[in-house]
Amino acid sequence: MKILVAGGAGYIGSHMAKWLTTHGHEVVILDNLSTGHSDLARYGRLVVGNLGDRALLDSLFEQETFDAVMHFAASSLVAESVTEPALYFNNNLANTLVLLDAMRHWGCQYFIFSSTAATFGEPEYCPIDEQHPQNPINPYGLSKLMVEQVLQQYASAYGLHSVSLRYFNAAGADPDGELGECHNPETHLIPIILQAAAGKREAVTIFGRDYNTPDGTCIRDYVHVQDLCNAHLLALEKLQTGTLRGAQAFNLGNGNGFSVAEVMDAARRVVSASGRDFVVLEGERRAGDPAILVADSRAAQHQLGWRAEYPDIDTIIRHAWFWENRGVAD
């Protein structure tokens, strides 16, 4: 297949481009490089431009016959979405509508959407399945939920078939060390820990030790970026064969939550082999941090044939540490 990967110079999108290419598909990457890195766009032809540029999209769809589009081009910082909601509704919702309408015009009917567990808001129960109420508590989660709702309407009205994949905590890196996570600012726990171990930041902070969990720290569900890529391709194959129709959505996680303290212990095991360590500071709880967020991925297992190949937190961190030590894109 020939796939347009929007946001393919970013963390997950660059891994997806490699996954598609190594599985025999042709990739064109569309990225404005606002948060992506051209050095990560190694698999596929890179077109630098904005998702909301309809003239650019028309030019691309006229030149290429795309079998499907994968969308990783969202803005994704929760705190920023609270202070700059217009940015999130413009990029995550309005620009996606431009893309979907270009797809309709050019007859491309398969769409894979990178969604988020933030559509659920504060969990009412765990693990979180697809029937859990969706009540986002920030503009980031709301903008993603709005796209999911649009996709439902576009499926019934226009025959646009889609799968939305809701991640919990994407983590890890390409096992070959070619690709990895490099955000600015970095907000994810594992790269923050590894930056501290590499001497790129002074310390890492535990925000709260008084949660109702076995060790008092928050529990999160980490899923390896390679496993996410596998789920995307499986979802696309199900659309292509007609096994899935309409607008579908699945939660993705490894099903085994790890606490902040457990992640730090695992990171120490990994970096100690390099003679490294890191300083840990104690901080107060952050507002809006639920005690436990864990995915119920049984629907993805049953309907996509998906399972996490890298559920072990030590392996996830080891791959990320390999990337960190090879250097990241500027």
Q: Given strand 219-220, what is the order of strands in its sheet? A: 258-259, 219-220, 292-293
- For residue 202, the cross-strand partners are none
- Rg (the chain; Cα; Å): 19
Give start and end residues of each alpha helix (H) in the chain: 11-22, 54-63, 78-83, 85-88, 95-106, 139-158, 189-197, 225-241, 260-272, 298-304, 313-326
Give the sign of the dihedral formed by CA 16, CA 21, CA 23, CA 25: positive
Identified catalytic residue from 43, 110, 140, 211: 140
DSSP code string of 100-141:
HHHHHHHT--EEEEEEEGGGS-S-SSSSB-TTS----SSHHH
- For residue 199, the cross-strand partners are none
Position 273: which residue type?
A
Annotated active-site residue 140? The verdict is: yes
Q: Find out whether 141 and 119 touch, Cβ atoms under 8 Å.
A: yes
Query: Catalytic site residues?
Result: 140
